Structure 1
Amino acid sequence: MTTPEIKGFCPGALRPMQSGDGIVVRIRPFNGRLRRAQADGIATLAAAHGNGMIDLSSRGNIQIRGVTEESYAGLIEGLRRMSLLDATPEIESRRNILVTPFWQTGDETEALAAALTDEMVAEGAPQVPHKFGFAVDTGKLPVLQTASADIRLERDAGGGLILVPDGSTSGKPVTSETVIAQALDLAKWFLKNRDSYSRMNQVIADGATLPPGYFVPRQAQTYVPAPGYTPLGAIVGLAFGQLPVETLAGLAKQGGLRMTPWRMILVESARNLPDVDGVITDPADPLLRVVACTGAPACSQGLAETRSVASEIAPHLGVDQMLHVSGCAKGCAHPKPAPLTVTATAHGYDLIRNGRASDPADQTGLTLQDIIKAL
């Protein structure tokens, strides 16, 4: 298998990444939300300065694709005018905060996310690795446990706040007044104990002894993301998390947009599922159970097409099957194991059951039709 290049960082707006279809510029919406004008403005900028395609990442971020060296400056100026940028690339990389989309205006989630943001952009903030992140998952029940994060703010069964290191089955009881300081202390503890690790769950799995106080059992997540109505608006899905600028502009006309790590968007106050081209409103659509990276040729490391292959496989999946199609062994779109993983290689596709894109394959050198027969 060809060894892919590991960049070691995620793209940002101020620190973009070169890909096969141009420069990728990643925007990290503050508190996970875009105002209607901001969403519409991003669509306009992506059309003017990119190739008109936009991605939603597994961390609730939004990426503009196909930017050129000549168009980059104009894009950044437009994003700055809409207050969507951080002061420096270093601050941008630290502000990796995932927020439950089900917060309500004025509730504790909004305040905690804003306070954590303030601390992580401050001069003395812990210098955590680029991919290290936080999850503010402080609704009554957790919804972000399957999303990537290293330090989590959740609630226990009694409704109290707990601070949870990712990989731990228990958390530390905290209050609204103490949780942010305790979260920063936990980040500092990670930095002292991480050795060569970049993620909290690796440190926990290696047997590091947490500071005292982490004894409250976590609630297990029962929420399953799906398109549909919520008291806050309508959730719509996006095949592979990708949408053209016309779709984003169409959604922006419906209301403010809250990003999710599920490649879905919550359209605020929508009482009807938006009739916008390019969105998925049927919770039974098999494309909702397929994750696929950009693949070749848009990704310079992709060894073959991914999304066209994924679209062909999707109708053949069982009702409970989930599929990950990766253009290389990095598995960027879904780093965790999946029930079915298809990895592109220089000699066809590998099929991996219950594993990651880089794991040993059960079958190798497959064609699309071979994969479908093997399911």
Structure 2
Amino acid sequence: MSQALSIAAAPKALPALRRGACPSLDEPMQTGDGLLARLRIPNGRLTPRQLQAIAKTAAQHGNGQLEITARGNLQVRGLMPQTTGDFATAIQAITAIERGLVVETPPLAGQDPLERADPRPIAQAIRALGTTGLGPKVTVVVDGNGQIDLNALGADIRLAAANADHWHLRVGTKTVGTVATTDAVDAARIILELIANRGEAARGRDLAPETIRTALAPLLANDVAAVPRPATNAVGDFTLNASFATGIALPFGSVSSSTLIELANIARGLGITELLLAPHRALIALAPDTALLHAWRDEAANLGFITTPDDPRRAISACIGSDGCASGHIAARALAARLAERHAALFDGSMTLHVSGCVKGCAHPRAASLTLVGTATNCALVSNGLAGDTPLVEIAPARLESAFAHLVQQRLPGETSAACLARLGASTIAGLFRQE
């Protein structure tokens, strides 16, 4: 039986998904700089003209700040309650908006010659399932294991291609086993039902391994060895089946509408007709000619975008802070940019820095190697934690750059920054920042 036929036959008809309180187009979320709307663009695909139109709409109805999230969604910030209806109408005239269960695939899916299997048919069949009782954050990742790594994206259900006929299955962080392509959609359906049965607050991580394996016992196949691929982010050049692609990233995930309009206009002028929103806060351009893509990339660099994988800003997450958020105590992105420029050697890809305007930590909801948090009078330093965790020390913002210089000086020859932090330990790091 072919994959397409088996997938079409596998799903059972289920009720539609209940939408929850996500910061979506229809249900914006209140933040310190107004309302935020998240746009789930189908397959992340936009023409440059569509991207321009979205950026113009963001400037008209919001504060002109747009973001590409770590998962590759587009966010519009600073919307006003009285204009959200007009904003939604304008966006829906520009592009379709995806709703329902979140099922993610790599941005190059179906075009990537290195992926072990095309994840799109399975993903589409899972989207068609629908189910009641799921919380709005429940997410499925179907990864063909190609050139762009999705391992950093959390998922309640993760199907990763072992080969064309088998998929490795994880639920939350638990490795479950291997399922055949013909059984992958049924396996996802069963797990989604298990999650839904626990209530709308439940996630995949809440399911006990024995419960999962018992429910999936008829579907689990003999394990297929997982052959790891080198981790690759979305910044750089990619060769596709019938074209080429180049990915750039937004510095700290954010860009002004005017800059995005200019970037899209450059793409149009070069004849680039397709742009992809991508994980890792990236934007990918597709074209039949690498010369066009490199010309676009060079112009993007001139506009301040990240165009190389080793750019130190890739290791830093930062919110807008006091420059645009009522909750922010420090100008987080401005501070992050200075640290990246003046202490680039620290950001070697082995460690992460989170600069947050306040304890909410919106820009990086996971633990970071180091986190700087704005307070009413100072900056708090957290080691291996979240913005709201107990800090090691507080330091005046004016002393931060010299403190980071002291930290850089502690690295031994050939030592990574992560290894240096581990060797020093929390108490020594705190002393360096106190400049004892």
- The one-character-per-residue Cα deviations of 1:7-45 (angstroms, maximum 9, x if unpaired) are x95411000022333221210111232234432321232
Matched, 1:116 2:126: yes
User: What SS does the aligned partner of 2:185 have?
Assistant: helix
* Structure-to-structure mapping, 1:151-190, within 5 angstroms: 151-156=157-162, 160-175=166-181, 177-190=182-195
C-alpha change, 1:361 and 1:371, in structure 2 (3 Å) is farther
Cα distance in 2 between the residues matched to 1:28 and 1:356: 27
* 1:89 matched residue in structure 2: none
* 1:335 matched residue in structure 2: 365
User: What SS does the aligned partner of 2:382 have?
Assistant: strand
* 2:203 matched residue in structure 1: 199
* 2:423 matched residue in structure 1: none
User: What SS does the aligned partner of 2:23 have?
Assistant: coil
* 1:64 matched residue in structure 2: 76
TM-score by length of 2: 0.72
* Structure-to-structure mapping, 1:252-291, within 5 angstroms: 253=268, 254-269=272-287, 271=290, 272-273=293-294, 274=296, 275-276=299-300, 277-291=303-317
Amino acid at match of 1:112: I
> 5+ residue gaps in structure 1?
1-7, 87-91
C-alpha change, 1:29 and 1:365, in structure 2 (3 Å) is same
C-alpha change, 1:157 and 1:350, in structure 2 (3 Å) is farther
Report the count of equivalent residues.
354
* 2:150 matched residue in structure 1: 144
Amino acid at match of 2:101: R
User: What SS does the aligned partner of 1:352 have?
Assistant: strand
Cα distance in 2 between the residues matched to 1:20 and 1:298: 8
Q: Percent identity?
A: 28
- The one-character-per-residue Cα deviations of 1:181-214 (angstroms, maximum 9, x if unpaired) are 32121112123357x964323x26x766422338
C-alpha change, 1:371 and 1:199, in structure 2 (3 Å) is farther
* 1:348 matched residue in structure 2: 378
Whether the 8 Å CA contact 1:56–1:263 is kept in 2: the answer is yes
- The one-character-per-residue Cα deviations of 1:233-267 (angstroms, maximum 9, x if unpaired) are 00101101111223333235233222222011111
Cα distance in 1 between the residues matched to 2:58 and 2:398: 33
Amino acid at match of 2:203: R
Cα distance in 2 between the residues matched to 1:348 and 1:221: 43
C-alpha change, 1:82 and 1:261, in structure 2 (3 Å) is same
Q: State the Cα RMSD in Å.
A: 2.9
* Structure-to-structure mapping, 1:231-310, within 5 angstroms: 231=239, 232-249=244-261, 250-251=263-264, 253=268, 254-269=272-287, 271=290, 272-273=293-294, 274=296, 275-276=299-300, 277-296=303-322, 298-310=324-336
Whether the 8 Å CA contact 1:325–1:341 is kept in 2: the answer is yes
Amino acid at match of 1:237: A
Give the one of 47, 66, 86 matched to 2:59.
Answer: 47
Determine which structure has greater relative contact order: mean sequence separation of CA pairs < 8 Å that are 6+ residues apart, divided by chain length. Answer: 1
- The one-character-per-residue Cα deviations of 1:108-127 (angstroms, maximum 9, x if unpaired) are 3233333333333xxxx243
* 2:412 matched residue in structure 1: none
* 2:39 matched residue in structure 1: 27
Structure with higher helix content: 2
